[in-house]
Chains A and B, each alone.
Chain A
Amino acid sequence: MISLISPKSLRSLGIVGMNRRNISFIGKHNKRSKYRLVDDKLLTKKIALEKGGIPVPELYGVVEYLFQINDFLKEIQQRESFVIKPVQGSGGKGILVVTGRDGEAFIKSSGTRIYNSDIRHHITNTLAGLYSLGGRNDRAMVEGLIDFDPLLKQYSHEGVPDIRVIVFKGVPLMAMMRCATHKSDGKANLHQGAVGVGLDIATGHCVSAVQNSVLVTEHPDTGAVFSKLRVPHWDRVIELAASCTALTGLGYIGADVVLDRKSGPMLLELNARPGLAIQVANQAGLIHRMDIAQEIIETTDDPVLRIQLAKSHFTSTSAI
């Protein structure tokens, strides 16, 4: 028997469904004209660096035309590790992570070996728009691989964990860490089997963790217990995410933050259509938090105060 939850209990928990998110959150607070700032990852990088002074992963280069691929391949031989992404990619599609080298071969995060021809194939697909929103022609960008904080090492298998913070007009609403698993093939993508760990807005401590919509207590591959998770540099993570509202002018966004060993929190990318699984990871609904955030916004214009009020409202005791 499939276990279902009634719409009534979902409503009382304040869970946001796809339809409500599209109409009341995204449609209402995010202007179409501003989407470009987050859909184009190069642009996001640029405004984060120039306008916000926010650290981002180092950009190695951009491939815009097919003829540039040969030069690019020569250039890349010097690099030990790198990440190739479509500039306008969606849903984590088309991201190629190279973590090391073995002579001619490049080693992917999963340990698979690939060669120049595979990289060329991947880039031509990217340029043709295979991985991009609406299938438009795209560019490929190459970034430095994050050397992520060793404190988080045990929580992620074959991949970089990132922290998604949902921000409504400068008020951080909800946060979760996405940990890659063997099942998710090193990708921090929840519907591919990554674990989502709900994080307390005030402290960065674990609230609860979920894999494939089912609650879990420890990492399926490393066995690390999530209840002990404490995200370092938490205040900076929240501050960085909250400042993205001013950066983009978008009311409702998801900011993806990674923790670098040397540089601390870095902005990886922004999302104008953040997903809903974060609610299950936090075992809490977004509707109530949205209502409180509306009140906070009416009370104060000061970004620091908004964060402070959010922290005092959106804290909870660990459920695990």
Chain B
Amino acid sequence: MVASKTQIGIIAGLLISFGLGLTIYKSITLGLPLIPQQYRDVWTIEAKASFSPTDSPVEVTLTLPEDHNGWVTLNENYSSSGFGFTILENDLGSHARWTKQTVKEPTTVYYKAEVYEQASDYTPVVFATTLSRTTPQQEKTFNYLVDSLRKKSTDDEGFVTLLLQEFLAASNSQEVQFILSSTHESKIKAILQLLTFANIPAHPIKGIQLEDGRRRQTLNELLEVYTGKEWVIFNPDDGSSGLPDDYYIWKRGDNAVLTVIGGEKSSLEFALVKNNLPLRTVISMEQRSNKYALLDFSIYSLPVEQQGIFKGLLLIPIAALVVVFMRIGVGVSTSGTFMPILLALALMQTTLLVGLAMFALVVGVGLWIRSYLSHMNLLLVARVASVVIVVILLMAVVAVISYKLGIDQALTVTFFPTIILAWTIERMSILWEEEGGHEVLIQGSGSLVVAVLAYLVMSNRYVEHLTFNFPELLIALLGVILLMGKYTGYRLSELYRFREMKKQL
């Protein structure tokens, strides 16, 4: 016993000092700050161009983003295994080109860039949109539509807004329907045609809506329109004006971003990860990664997609620490040992209040339905499976209803772990039958309190910064948890439980 205790003491001591030592070393020699300071949101964007080859030689051309769109590129990487690779510059900007004589299987080529946003007052040049040939019938419709909107609007900006509304309306007017069906164009192209027809300079913008951890983001298009005074950006999907937050402009103009010759079914997807990092660090890291083996083996050396996954994974041990502390140190009873962690992970996606409301709603209604199921005398597995289905249906109903009511946040209900919710409902319902609602309340609120605490710790900026940049801290954390596993002292709750012993003193 004594031996095992000393053993664990030594192992834990070694782990803690090793983890902390490595952290301090990294911080001092590599200049990675322990506290997030003048940091910026540095986005890592990984573009994946995939295609299935045909028999002919393959040529993949990817238009590269330009810096003058308000973003600064820190560094760029191209993967081109087995491909001939060149970067071309012409008046339309720079392009990356991959070439190969024969390609056998569906292939993906990668382009990776680290970028951050910088204020910019760049004024774009007009990319002339040429009016495609129109039939007299179309011209008539164009004329009619432009005239009627001109009458309703006072200036160009108002005109554009009205035009977008015309296209966004739930039931399109006959004119719009005719334009869309007769020109065989996308909505945005049809709008551009109309603007050109109305002599308003405009061009499309192709870019990415940046979302942290997103893996299969695709390009979407905005509309940039010259209103006579300035360039205004419109979102053709909802009619709003102005550049959306965290929108990365890849390219202005109508030209394709990806062209694949000698391939079919080409697609372009983006994986995105955001880091709160001091700029200095990011810049110097690239220069040093060859020099220091340690950095070369850090999480930063992974592809962006995996970096995103690890960012979440590295927070789980922190949540586990909270659970261990709350159970061993405080003595809170939770339903299911690590259920609070899963709940906390879901809260990370839904934000706190929305998440809690959703959880209460789904579990509450679930319990109610489950109480009916319990009268039907079903076998356990079938009953839990039924609860799983009920939970999924509930989530669908919550999502649809709240979406219709315009509460977008409720859509995040899908982040809750379904099976865990079902088991939680099942356990609580049994607890209810066996020990009464009182015990359900104790265990349920215990789980919630632990989950909320875990969420608060996990969503802390410093914690996120430390775990992601210094994953070796987890080694120290392991040491701490080992030590806690040997704690024989009293739990906080026991000071209350044994309160009657006072009379013995």
What sequence of 0s and 1s flags, for each residue 2-35 of chain A, a beta carbon within 8 Å of any chain B beta carbon? 1111110110110101111001100010000000
8 Å CB interface, B350-381 against A: 377, 379-381
Other-chain residue from B331, B377, B380, B497 in contact with A213 (beta carbon distance below 8 A) = B497
B504 touches A13 (CB 8 A): yes
Q: Quick check: is B122 within 8 A (CB to CB) of the other chain?
A: no
Known: A280-B500, A280-B501, A283-B503. A7 touches B377 (CB 8 A): no
Size class of the A contact interface (CB-based, 8 Å): 35 or more
Chain B contact residue count (CB 8 A cutoff): 28
B494: interface (CB < 8 Å): yes
In the complex, which of the residues A20, A94, A213, A283 contacts B504, with contact meaning CB atoms closer than 8 Å?
A283
CB contacts (< 8 Å) of A276 on chain B: these are 497
User: Known interface pairs A7-B495, A280-B500. Does A124 touch B488 (Cβ–Cβ under 8 Å)?
Assistant: no
Q: Point out the residues of chain B lying under 8 angstroms from A28, CB to CB.
A: 1
A24 contact set on B, CB distance < 8 A = 1, 488
A19-B325 Cα distance, complex, nearest whole Å: 12
Say whether A121 faces chain B, with CB atoms less than 8 Å apart: yes
Which chain A positions have C-beta within 8 A of B434? 93-94
Contacts of B505 in A (CB 8 A): 9, 12-13
Interface residues of B in 423-481 (CB under 8 A from A): 430, 434-435
A283 and B499 contact, CB distance less than 8 A: no
Name A109-147 residues within 8 Å CB distance of B. Answer: 117, 120-121, 124-125, 128-130
**A17→B501 CA distance, assembly (Å):** 13
Smallest Cβ-Cβ distance to B484: which chain A residue:
A19
Looking at B486, B489, B491, B498, the one whose CB has the most chain A CB atoms below 10 A away is: B498
Given A19-B487, A120-B377: A10 in contact with B500 (beta carbons within 8 A):
no
Count A-B pairs with CB separation below 8 Å: 90
- Residues of B within 8 Å of A120, CB to CB, are 377
Q: Are A124 and B498 within 8 A (Cβ)?
A: no
A285 to B505, CA, bound (A): 12
CA distance A47 to B485 in the complex (A): 34
- Chain A, Cβ-Cβ closest to B486: A23
A154, chain B: closest CB distance, angstroms: 24
Partner pick for A128 among B331, B381, B504, CB 8 A cutoff = B381
Q: How far is the CA of A17 from the CA of B504 in the complex (A)?
A: 17
Question: Provided the pairs A10-B501, A120-B377, A128-B380 are in contact, do residues A18 and B496 lie with their beta carbons within 8 angstroms?
Answer: no
Q: In the complex, what residues of B have CB within 8 A of residue A129's CB?
A: 380
Asked if residues B488 and A130 are in contact (CB atoms below 8 Å), the reply is no
User: Does the CB pair A18–B499 fall under 8 Å?
Assistant: no
Known contacts being A13-B504, A213-B499, A283-B501, is A130 close to B494, with CB within 8 Å? Answer: no
Q: List 15 A-B contacts (CB under 8 A).
A: A7-B495, A9-B502, A9-B505, A10-B490, A12-B505, A13-B505, A15-B501, A17-B490, A20-B489, A129-B380, A130-B430, A213-B499, A215-B503, A276-B497, A279-B501
| A contact set with B: CB distance below 8 Å | 2-7, 9-10, 12-13, 15, 17-20, 23-24, 28, 66, 93-94, 117, 120-121, 124-125, 128-130, 192, 210, 213-215, 276, 279-280, 283-285
The 9 closest A-B pairs by CB, nearest first: A128-B380, A20-B488, A17-B490, A121-B377, A4-B495, A17-B494, A7-B490, A5-B499, A3-B499
Binding site for A on B (CB under 8 A): 1, 328, 331, 377, 379-381, 430, 434-435, 486-491, 494-505
Given contacts A5-B498, A128-B379, A130-B430, 19 further A-B contacts (CB under 8 A): A5-B495, A5-B499, A9-B505, A10-B501, A12-B505, A19-B487, A19-B491, A23-B488, A24-B1, A24-B488, A28-B1, A66-B379, A93-B434, A124-B380, A125-B380, A130-B380, A213-B498, A213-B500, A280-B498
